Amino acid sequence: MATNSKTLQEMAEIILKDRSIDEVRDALEPNCHDAYKRFPNGNECDTQAISKRWQHIDGVTSPENIYDGEDLQVYKSNIENCIGTVKIPVGIAGPLRVNGTFAKGDYLLPLATTEAALIASYHRGAVVISKAGGCSAILMSEGVTRSPGFAFKTISDMISFSHWILMHREKFYEVAEGTSNHGRLQDIRFAAEGNHLYLLCDFTTGDAAGQNMVTIATQAICEYIIQNTPITPEYWFVEANASGDKKATAQSFMTVRGKKVSVEVIIPEKLIQRFLHTTTERMVDYWRMSALGGVMTGSIGVQGHYANCLAAMFIACGQDAACVAEAAVGITRFEKREDNSLYATATLPNMIVGTVGGGTKLPSQQSALQIMQLAGNGNSKAFAEVCAGAALAGEISIIGSLAAGDFTRAHHDLARQR
């Protein structure tokens, strides 16, 4: 997070325009004098509750853009202090043909975004893949982790505690299953650091993304441990930040978080030329240079912009959009085959998605899942495969336009000149 002296100098000039450093210091001072008026708490989403909340809000020229008097009780279990809804435009790319272990067919991709050119790009990629026969997709593994942490006086206590857990771990499966119909404990891993122990509790979570499910199951396991172990920790927490929740981590990338899917497609060069206006060789040149660009900048994995489609699909389909932080990692690879066709593959190990739970039941989100025929139970594996296919479509399209040299123009035209 370093800034060189020349750049800092320029920043200082911006901050100190029209004021002294002491005035800046004054601005930063805590202010306990002015009255503070807290926004009222509440889960209710009826018209009255929402209207009341708007009385605490000033300066909005067209509040009806957020709230137009409609009944919003349907959102009640998904939000607090609700004042209405934001509307995100949603467009369709594809369909994308997916030949997967769970997904099978041509999937329309609902993408919610406010960024021009995004859907056009994914659409192009989806068409190219589909024209080539579709992408093969395979779910390689799945799992969601919670990581309670336990602190002890000494390493000696920590290993006694670990040993106790090791000896009693069979019981935990039962305890975990008592909390959920869908969550299933897979294994407990032990990550010891000095006198600290982090347990990595790995679960499968059925068709839900499952973060709450694994929290509740882990809480139950921890409480069982605390009530039964002869070694009491100094303190413990149900989550000690080793689960990879809401962040990109090397650990999740190297194992799995949610679902790990690999997709691939082989595209004849004539399709590359026709749709992408470039050659297989140049796309592979791009891949090589961009993969090392990722390495040189310390990304986790190497890929282009999985985040674009994941954010757009997550928002459209009622997923937890904050999970883009962890899901948007993986490896894209392009190779030239002997017949000049392009072999393109993407592997996304951290797709924490679900087709039940979370926001999936909300009205427009449920409709978006229905567009893909993937709403409800039994569909999360296929949904993950389709998401991965969409990510690959985006990689192919953007690399195509960068290789062809028309990336800037495409963005320029679509964003500025309409």
Asked if 228 is part of the footprint of its own copies (rule: CB under 8 A), the reply reads: no
- Is 30 near its own copies (CB under 8 A)? yes
Q: Would you say 312 or 396 has its CB closer to its own copies?
A: 312
DSSP state string for 125-189: HHHHHHHTT-EEEEEEEEEEEE--EEE-SSHHHHHHHHHHHHHHHHHHHHHHHTT-SS-EEEEEE
Token duo for residue 361: 């039941």
Is 106 among the residues known to form the active site?
A: no
d(Cα 333, Cα 347) in Å, to the nearest integer?
9
**Does 254 engage in binding with its own copies (CB under 8 A)?**
yes
Residue 207 is among the residues annotated as catalytic for this protein:
no
Instruction: Please spell the DSSP secondary structure of 252-279, one letter per residue.
Output: HHHS-SEEEEEEEEEE-HHHIIIIISS-
CA dist 127 and 1 (Å) reads 41
Selecting among 157, 245, 264, 320, the annotated active-site residue is 320
Task: Kindly tell me which residue out of 49, 127, 384, 391 binds its own copies, with binding defined by CB under 8 A.
Answer: 127
**C-alpha distances out from residue 156 to 97, 162, 164, 196, 261, Å:** 56, 10, 12, 11, 41
Q: Does 115 bind its own copies (CB under 8 A)?
A: yes
Residue type, 202: D
Among 205, 215, 379, 380, binds its own copies (CB under 8 A): 215
Find the binding residues for its own copies in span 141-180 (CB under 8 A): 141-143, 147, 149, 151, 154-156, 159-160, 162-163, 166, 169
Q: Is 248 in the site for its own copies (CB under 8 A)?
A: yes
From CA 303, how far away is CA 298, in angstroms rounded? Answer: 12
Phi, psi of 233 (to 5 degrees): -70, 160
CB of 415 to its own copies, least distance (A): 5
Distances (CA, A) of 134 to 94, 176, 185: 11, 40, 35
Q: In the complex, what is the shortest distance from the CB of residue 393 to its own copies, in angstroms, rounded to a whole number?
A: 13
366: its two tokens: 């449920």
- Indicate whether 125 belongs to the interface with its own copies (CB under 8 A): no
283 three-state secondary structure: helix
Q: Does 110 bind its own copies (CB under 8 A)?
A: yes
Q: Verify binding: residue 342, its own copies, rule CB under 8 A.
A: no
Of positions 176, 324, 388, 391, contacts its own copies by CB under 8 A = 324
Contact with its own copies (CB under 8 A) among 80, 232, 277, 378: 80
Catalytic annotation present for 412: no
Residue from 183, 206, 210, 318 binding its own copies (CB under 8 A): 318
Q: Does 366 bind its own copies (CB under 8 A)?
A: yes
Choose which of 17, 18, 48, 61 interacts with its own copies (CB under 8 A).
Answer: 61
Tell me, by CB under 8 A, how many residues bind its own copies.
222
What's the Cα-to-Cα distance from 121 to each of 57, 128, 253, 347, 402, rounded to whole Å?
39, 11, 26, 20, 12
Residue 308 binds its own copies, judged by CB under 8 A: yes
Active centre residues (catalytic): 115, 320, 411
